[in-house]
Structure 1
Amino acid sequence: MREGRTAGAQASITDGPAGIWVGDLARALTRLGVDHGDGETVRRIAVLLGLRGPVPGPGPAPRWQAPSAPEAEEERRSAPPPPLRAEDAAALPDNAESPPSTTEGAAGPLPLLTPLAGASGTRPAWRFPALAERGDGPAEAEPAHHSLLPPNSETATLQTVLSRTVPEGEIDTHRLLEEFATGRPLQDLPRLPVRTLRFGTQVLVDLGPGMEMFARDQEELVNRITVIVGRHTTNVLYFAVSPLNHVGPGAGWTWRPYRPPAAGTRVLILSGFGCNLPGSGPPPMLWQEWQEVTALLRRSGCRPAALVPLPPDRFPAPLTSLMPVVSWDRSTTTVQAESRVP
């Protein structure tokens, strides 16, 4: 019960019967709208409630009167803050200052909570950064792709592998003098051999087991070949294990039996030929299928070649006897590719 301030002598009302308190008198006076300075009316109501003893006479508000709004605000500001709990103290940042304690306990003064943001509006420096919301920062870029062929000579190596040699260069003067020396009539002028890409290229991409790890390398190489040879003279077909079954430029359900391209086309095969599969190696049936494929291409006037993601010492003998093979590796040079692909 809040103690009121009186100008005259202090008088109190003792509690009445069980269950009747001075607070009941204050509640009754408020409900009836009785003036607190009317001592006679207050005394009568107290007697009716069974309270004993004198009551304050006319004057300032009795001690059971509710305080005014300014007095309540002043009392709230002057009241000490509640004690700080241990778990609340542990959650405070390192740079937060603990207020002086006003509550004494068995273990000494207890820290009290204070607002972290005062009138200055400064923000606390937290020990750990807040988690960034989704979409705040830039999207993570895809890691750069590195070609399996040497970057500085990749274009020259691909041009060598994809082109074919034709006798359409400068006049071969040495052969011309030899023909003159024999006295035989010339049917045509002998010319030096040069490489050309005008016959176009067909790329057969193996999607079978053992080549899954090179899927992105195959995609990047196909894009590079399209730029070098030209979009209109490049034909890309996909197969699994062997093109003798079915091939196609799109989804597997659209594949059809393989037909060789026009005569003179360079056919480049991107495959591991089963050498990347676990076990003792590719089955003999696979080499029989590739033998039929290469025979079909040569009858059509096409020239097959292969890029294999293996070192040269791991090339199987049946493969090198079927077609020219170039290692799809950083150790490959343009000179090596030119010596292996006529």
Structure 2
Amino acid sequence: MTERPVAFSLTLTRPPSPEAPPEDTGGSHADADELPDQPVESTPTDPPWTPEWARGVMVAAVSAPVASRRIDQRALLRKASRQQVLRSVPWQHRPSTRRGVQFLLDHSPGMAPFQYDRRWLHGLMTSVAGRDRAEVLRFTGSPRRGVVHADSVVREPYRAPAPGTPVVLVSDLGKLRPPLTGERTARLHEWLDFIDQVLRCGCPAVCLTPYPPTAYPAAVRDRIALIPFDRRISLRYAREATRRVHQMLEERT
């Protein structure tokens, strides 16, 4: 599908959702290699994630680690065993949405078959993060070409949010290139430039995408957390994907 022109009349290939797994795992874990190789067309009654743990997956996508009021005893013991000077109290971190989120909705031609997914994810994000903490932007091609605020029709230059604020995309990152769309679909180098811009500003990047992570080159997977539209996605998968990108950003700084 990704190597030849396709029409928008895609065939629904999403498998039936499995039985709900035990609560402590947050869902049956689907590894990246087990996810479908092709995107799935959305329908109004078939959301991209299983509703039982969809909120948890979205929380993992839009939250950032913040210091809690609990002492990180492991870090404290590690410093003591190494006889390191304790200049500050090491606190445990917990995921929180208090930093807010920048939510970017891709309206490029390749995302046309997934308009219901895009709308559903937008509503879910709002219920999780809150309208007052979410900056919602629309774009075509890539955000570097300009963005439009939710309550406006004027295209403006893209500006990254404050450092530490998650930047969450609903996009295929230019993977699906419908025929006759030309340069309206951004190519890989443009997306890499955008992701690097976000990382330089100290913001973790997450992409909610109709494609599995294995469909993207390593240059993309190493920079951004990829959470696919797949009803087998678990909380553990989403948390691990976002934890990795937060850790990578911390190492860069």
Counterpart Cα distance in 2 of 1:211 and 1:185: 53
- The two structures have a TM-score, normalised by structure 2, of 0.70
Letter in 2 for 1:158: M
Q: Partner of 2:104: helix, strand, or coil? A: strand
Following TM superposition, by how much is the alpha carbon of 1:163 offset from its aligned partner in structure 2, in angstroms? Answer: 0.8
Which residue matches 2:51? 151
Q: How does 1:163-174 map to 2 (within 5 A)?
A: 163-168=63-68, 170-174=70-74
Provide closer, same or farther for how the CA distance between residues 184 and 271 of structure 1 changes in structure 2, counting only shifts above 3 A: closer
Cα deviation, 1:160-190, whole Å, max 9, x if unaligned, reads: 1111123435212233233334444321112
Identify the structure with the greater strand proportion. 2
Structure 1 counterpart SS, 2:120: helix
SS at match of 1:202: strand
| Alpha-carbon separation, structure 1, partners of 2:59 and 2:150 | 26
Q: CA–CA distance in 2 between the matches of 1:286 and 1:251?
A: 28
Pair 1:199–1:251, CA change in 2 (3 A): closer
Q: Which position in structure 2 is the counterpart of 1:109?
A: none
CA contact (8 A) 1:205 1:218 kept: yes
Residue 335 of structure 1, aligned match among 215, 220, 236: 236
Which residue number in structure 2 is paired with residue 318 of structure 1? 219
- Is 2:146 the counterpart of 1:226? no
Who is 2:192 aligned against? 291
Counterpart Cα distance in 2 of 1:313 and 1:178: 37
Tell which deviates more after alignment, 227-236 or 256-265: 256-265
Distance across 2 between alignment mates of 1:183 and 1:223: 50
Supply the distance in 2 between the matched residues of 1:273 and 1:285 (Cα, whole angstroms).
8
Cα distance in 2, alignment partners of residues 147 and 165 from structure 1: 27
Give 2:79's aligned residue. Answer: 179
The 8 Å contact of residues 103 and 135 in structure 2, kept in 1 or not, is answered as yes
1:261 to 145, 152, 161: 161
C-alpha separation between the residues in 2 aligned to 1:225 and 1:285? 25
Q: Distance in 1 between matches of 2:186 and 2:58?
A: 30
Aligned positions of 1:176-215 closer than 5 A: 176-215=76-115
Deviation, 1:323, is: 1.2
1:208 corresponds to which letter in structure 2?
Answer: S
| Amino acid in structure 2 at the alignment position of 1:179 | K
Whether the aligned pair in 2 keeps the contact of 1:169 and 1:194 (CA below 8 Å) is no
Q: Which has the higher contact order (CA 8 A, sep 6+)?
A: 2
Secondary structure at the counterpart of residue 147 of structure 2? coil
2:131 partner amino acid: R
TM-superposed deviation, 1:200: 0.3
Q: Which residue of 2 is the match for residue 238 of structure 1? A: 138
Number of residue pairs aligned between Structure 1 and Structure 2: 198
Q: Which residue of 2 aligns with 1:306?
A: 207
CA distance in 1, matches of 2:153, 2:124: 27
Alpha-carbon contact 2:174-2:186 (below 8 Å) kept: no
Deviation at 1:232, TM superposition (A): 0.5
CA contact (8 A) 1:287 1:318 kept: no
Q: Letter of the aligned partner of 1:308 in structure 2? A: T
Which amino acid in the other structure matches residue 293 of structure 1?
A: F
- Is the alpha carbon distance of 1:295 and 1:180 closer, same or farther for their aligned partners in structure 2, counting shifts above 3 Å? same
Partners of 2:151 and 2:190 in 1: how far apart? 22
Q: What is the SS of the residue equivalent to 2:159?
A: coil
Instruction: Give the CA deviation at 1:146.
Output: 2.9
- TM-score of the two chains, using structure 1 as the length reference: 0.53
> Cα offset for 1:300?
1.8
Deviation at 1:278, TM superposition (A): 4.6
**Distance change (3 Å), C-alpha of 1:263 and 1:278:** same
For residues 206 and 326 of structure 1, what CA distance do their matches in structure 2 show?
15
CA RMSD of aligned residues (A): 2.5
| Structure 1: runs of 5+ lacking an equivalent | 1-142
Identity score, percent: 27
SS in 1 for 2:232: coil
Residue 175 and residue 260 in structure 1: after superposition, are their counterparts in 2 closer, same or farther (change >3 A)? closer
Match of 2:148 among 232, 248, 259: 248
What's the offset of the Cα at 1:242? 0.7
What whole-Å deviation, never above 9, does each CA across 1:54-100 have from its counterpart, x for those lacking one? xxxxxxxxxxxxxxxxxxxxxxxxxxxxxxxxxxxxxxxxxxxxxxx
Q: For 1:225 and 1:305, how far apart are their aligned partners in 2?
A: 13
